[in-house]
Amino acid sequence: MEKKLAFGCMRLPMKGEEVDYDEFNKMIDLYMKEGFNYFDTAHGYIGGRSETAIRDCLAAR
């Protein structure tokens, strides 16, 4: 059975005005470990930082 659940990136863990990459990476690892792979992001989410953060975190894998 295909798993269907989007990881919404509208709100991410933050340290002040910046994405908390340590916490975000833990969240992504758990999500992907459970067999999911769909990330929902958009340029408007947290001022464009959502797209950059997901790109950086996934590129590290």
pTM for the whole thing?
A: 0.89
Q: Measured over all CA atoms, what is the biggest interatomic distance in the chain, rounded to whole angstroms?
A: 40
Closest CA to 36 of 7, 9, 11, 57: 7
Percent of the chain with pLDDT over 70: 100
Q: What angle do CA 4, 6, 2 make, to 5 degrees?
A: 15
State pLDDT tens for residues 28-55. Answer: 999 999 999 999 999 999 999 999 999 9
